[in-house]
Amino acid sequence: MTFRNQGLAMAATLGLTLSALPAQAATGPFISLGNTDFVVLIAFIVFIAALLYFKVPSMLGGMLDKRADGIRAELDEARALREDAQSLLASYERKQKEVQEQADRIVRTAKSEASAAAEQAKADLESSITRRIAAAEEQIASAEATAVRAVRDRAATVAVAAAREVIAQQMNANEGNKLIDDAIGQVQAKLH
């Protein structure tokens, strides 16, 4: 049943209802312009007829249908937006979880690399200390050998000087030449 048919049925029902009541309550003739109930009934019927003539019920029905369609479209749009928001939220939650996992991996990797770097630094330090100790021991041995040579050289120089003095005091020129000739002979024997 359309709004126009509903409007006609409503006007007919209302007209019959109103016409019966004033007729019973009136004291004089009902159909008279002096009877206010009759005038009100006529005005009401003219008003309803004007509404039906200008198709006001169908316009109201069309406006209500248009409004219902607009509300339905807004509800559909809201539903679509809600679904989009839910999928976006799920996407962000997945990305947040992935980022958290990646951050955890980075932390674990950084810790293991730091541990490995610390172990390497410890090994490098031990190696460096060992090299430095070896170098220091070599320097000490070299200094010791140099000191021993210096002492021997000094002892030899002192011994030679002392021997020269002793020999100079006890030797004459013939004995000195003889000793020189013997030393030259020994040197030649050792070189050949």
What tens digit of pLDDT does each residue of 75-93 get? 999 999 999 999 999 999 9
> Domain check: are 148 and 164 in the same one?
yes
> Domain check: are 120 and 96 in the same one?
no
> Domain check: are 78 and 158 in the same one?
no
Over the chain, what is the mean pLDDT? 83
Q: Which of 54, 72, 100 is where one domain is finished?
A: 100
Q: How far apart are CA 153 and CA 53, in angstroms?
A: 146
Burial of 89-118, coded b for 16+ CB within 10 Å and e otherwise, reads eeeeeeeeeeeeeeeeeeeeeeeeeeeeee
**45 near 15, Cβ under 8 Å?**
yes
| Residue 93 structural domain | 3-100
Output the CA–CA distances (angstroms, integers) from residue 175 to 56, 77, 172, 183, in the order listed.
164, 135, 6, 12
pLDDT tens by residue, 40-50 = 999 999 999 99
Percent of the chain whose predicted confidence (pLDDT) is above 90:
45
Q: Residue 22's pLDDT is what?
A: 46
**57 near 3, Cβ under 8 Å?**
yes
User: What global pTM score does this model have?
Assistant: 0.37
Q: Residue 23's pLDDT is what?
A: 46
> Domain check: are 128 and 62 in the same one?
no
Q: What is the 3-state secondary structure (H, E, C) of 33-46?
A: CCCHHHHHHHHHHH
Count up the domains in the chain and report the number. Answer: 2
Look up residue 18 and give its two tokens: 């109103």
